[in-house]
Amino acid sequence: MDDKLRDEILWLDLINSDWHDQLGWGRDEDRLLREEWLRRFLAPWGEPLSSGPLAEIRKKLADLRRLIRRMADDFAKNGAVRPADLSALNTVLGGAPLVRRVAASGPAYIIRDEKVESGLRALLADIAASFAEILARGEPRRIKACLNPDCRWIFYDNSKNRSRRWCENATGCGNMMKVRKHRSMKKKE
Q: Provide the mean pLDDT of the chain.
A: 82
pLDDT band at residue 183 under the 50/70/90 scheme:
low
**Listed residue (133, 160, 142, 131) closest to 12, CA to CA:** 131
How far apart are the C-alpha atoms of 178 and 189, rounded to whole Å?
Answer: 17
- Phi, psi for residue 129 in degrees, rounded to 5: -65, -35
Asked if 7 and 27 count as a contact pair (C-beta separation under 8 A), the reply is no
pLDDT, mean of residues 134-139: 87
Q: In degrees, to the nearest 5, what angle opens at C-alpha 100 toward C-alphas 98 and 105?
A: 130
Query: Residues 6 or more apart from 158 whose CB is under 8 A from it?
Result: 142, 164
In this model, does residue 182 exceed pLDDT 70? no
Helix, strand or coil for residue 23? coil
**Listed residue (118, 135, 160) closest to 71, CA to CA:** 135
**pLDDT higher for 27 or 110?**
110
How far apart are the C-alpha atoms of 188 and 186, rounded to whole Å?
Answer: 5
How far apart are the C-alpha atoms of 16 and 14, rounded to whole Å?
Answer: 6
Query: What does the pLDDT read at residue 1?
Result: 38
How far apart are the C-alpha atoms of 143 and 67, rounded to whole Å?
Answer: 15
pLDDT band at residue 33 under the 50/70/90 scheme:
very high
CATH of domain 3-188: 1.10.3300.10
How far apart are the C-alpha atoms of 85 and 62, rounded to whole Å?
Answer: 15
pLDDT band at residue 60 under the 50/70/90 scheme:
very high
In this model, does residue 128 exceed pLDDT 70? yes
How far apart are the C-alpha atoms of 186 and 18, rounded to whole Å?
Answer: 34
**pLDDT higher for 26 or 110?**
110
| Structural domain boundaries in the chain | 3-188
Q: What is the pLDDT of residues 164-175, one digit of tens each?
A: 777 775 557 766
Helix, strand or coil for residue 111? strand
Neighbouring-strand partners of residue 102: 111
pTM of the model: 0.78
